[in-house]
Amino acid sequence: MKIEEVKSTVRTQRIAAHSHVKGLGLDENGVPLPMAAGLVGQKAAREAAGIAVDLIKSKKMAGRALLLAGPPGTGKTAIALAIAQELGNKVPFCPMVGSEVFSNEIKKTEVLMENFRRSIGLRIRETKEVYEGEVTELTPVETENPMGGYGKTISNVVIGLKTAKGTKQLKLDPSIFESLQKEKVEVGDVIYIEANSGAVKRQGRSDTFATEFDLETEEYVPLPKGDVHKKKEVIQDVTLHDLDVANARPQGGQDVLSMMGQLMKPKKTEITDKLRMEINKVVNKYIDQGIAELVPGVLFIDEIHMLDLETFTYLHKSLESPIAPIVIFATNRGRCVIRGTTDIVSPHGIPLDLLDRLLIIRTLPYSSSEMEQIIKLRAQTEGLQLEESAFSRLSEIGSNSTLRYAVQLLTPAHQMTKVNGRTQITKDDIDDVHSLFLDAKRSSKHLSEKNNKFMM
């Protein structure tokens, strides 16, 4: 009898530069551990970031900003992502780069405001009349097509829902059947249907089916309690930018002219301040009534020195707004000219009046032993096997060049190992790829030596 291995259909997650970062790696007293949650070293920066996380959670940080300043490759982006991980997936986190504001389609200030609004969440609580339960039956009822022809149409759909208290059979409109198909609802799923709008939400698979063999990762939920027909508090998370876009894009008619008008519109349109003010009024009204709760998220702007004087001035206004997120800046520049000027030199290329508003967290270069620990962590994340001597050689290369260059040598070295029919990367493999691929320092040296050979 031939037995074949069944490969999982779950897509393997792509390993990115910061896939290993799971948090700040602090103990219960907020003291950083030497190596935890994917972060190594930078104890002072991690402890400071931990205090910032506590301030954000207690809602005492809104409208303030942090600046992560340090040389390239010292973990500034990793710390910003760790802050996002600590806050959880319910808090909006919007990353952007300073150069993103320069667009031919919309104003610089509009790009900034869009990202500000993306970073502010709104948690809306509504009490709705719903039908909730585990699907026991799902039968579409077909009838002859009233327009004639051989095809049949669905006149209604019969669905059976079961809870811990009882069962109920419902006869639904065919439009709801389309919603059931979009949500990929099948017998055994736990769903709820809103009585007023007919909206369908699949919550997961009933936990009575948890023992069945399933290749896909499935979320199992308990059988709902109470009656099938009930009033349920529904929590919806949206961002202010979602509300802006929804209201800025009115739904046109189905006639040819309105459809052509929608096609002719440019892809990127600016949202007016008047519309945003109206949305803010509605949001404030919901907050006063207790229907909604504001969730200030995190806006992370990397390479902040790429912004110019106009956008820095606009940041002042945005940070002072009553509805503002927590802003984290990052830069690897020392004293340099502020973009948009010719002679104003400032620390990190940021105007002094904005610097005065920031809490600055410093990141320091890694030691050789810390580099070795980070390389081991990356090798483990990428599923690579290295000899101890290979790790030592990589940390030595990282000390002489940069940590990023040393980490980038892992994958080519693994490829060379595979070609040679081995599974473990050796020191010789590292030396081979190090000789093939130049780092920035050696490349610069080569250019200065052979400058006359290159075109000017």
State the CATH number of the domain containing residue 416: 1.10.8.60
Q: How far is CA 420 from CA 317, 368, 414, 425, 427, in A?
A: 60, 29, 10, 10, 14
- Within this chain, do residues 40 and 74 fall inside the same structural domain, yes or no? yes
Q: Are residues 159 and 231 in the same domain?
A: yes
pLDDT in tens, 306-343: 888 888 888 888 888 777 888 889 998 888 898 888 88
Instruction: Supply the range of the domain harboring residue 310.
Output: 35-91+297-362
Percent of the chain residues topping a pLDDT of 70: 87
Looking at the fold, whether 80 and 151 belong to one and the same domain comes out as: no
The average pLDDT across 267-272 equals 65
Q: Please check whether residues 351 and 372 belong to one and the same domain.
A: no
pLDDT of residue 270: 66
At residue 260, the pLDDT reads 42
Radius of gyration of the chain (CA): 28
pLDDT of residue 323: 77
Q: Widest CA span of the chain, in angstroms?
A: 86
Total-model pTM: 0.69
The two three-digit tokens of residue 177, written as one number: 């059947």
Structural domain contains residue 14: no
- Of the three residues 339, 362, 385, the one that is the final residue of a domain is 362
From residue 387, give the alpha-carbon distance in Å to each of 269, 399, 426: 55, 19, 6
Q: Are residues 379 and 326 in the same domain?
A: no
How far apart CA 296 and CA 408 sit, in angstroms, is 36
**Same domain? 137 vs 71:** no
Query: Of 235, 266, 285, which one is at a domain's C-terminal end?
Result: 235
Q: What CATH code is carried by the domain that includes residue 170?
A: 2.40.50.360
Asked if 323 and 386 sit in the same domain, the reply is: no
On whether both 152 and 51 belong to a single domain, the answer is: no
Instruction: Please tell me whether residues 55 and 131 are part of one structural domain.
Output: no
DSSP E strand boundaries for 241-350? 292-296, 298-302, 326-331, 335-337, 345-347
Q: Is the pLDDT of residue 228 over 70?
A: yes
Q: Are residues 393 and 349 in the same domain?
A: no
Residue 24 lies in a domain: no
Q: What is the pLDDT of residue 249?
A: 65
- The Cβ of residue 204 has, within 10 Å, a number of other Cβ atoms equal to 13
Domain assignment present for residue 8? The answer is no
Residue that is last in its domain, among 334, 362, 390 = 362
Residue 245, domain member (yes or no)? no
The number of folded domains in the chain is: 3
Number of CB atoms found within 10 A of residue 234's CB: 14
Q: Tell how strand 358-362 and strand 65-69 pair up.
A: parallel
Per-residue confidence (pLDDT) for residue 9, from 0 to 100: 41
- pLDDT at residue 427 above 60? yes
Q: Is residue 213 part of a domain?
A: yes
- The answer to whether residue 63 scores a pLDDT higher than 70 is no
Please report whether residue 209 resides in a domain: yes
Do residues 327 and 385 share a domain? no
Percent of the chain with pLDDT over 90: 0
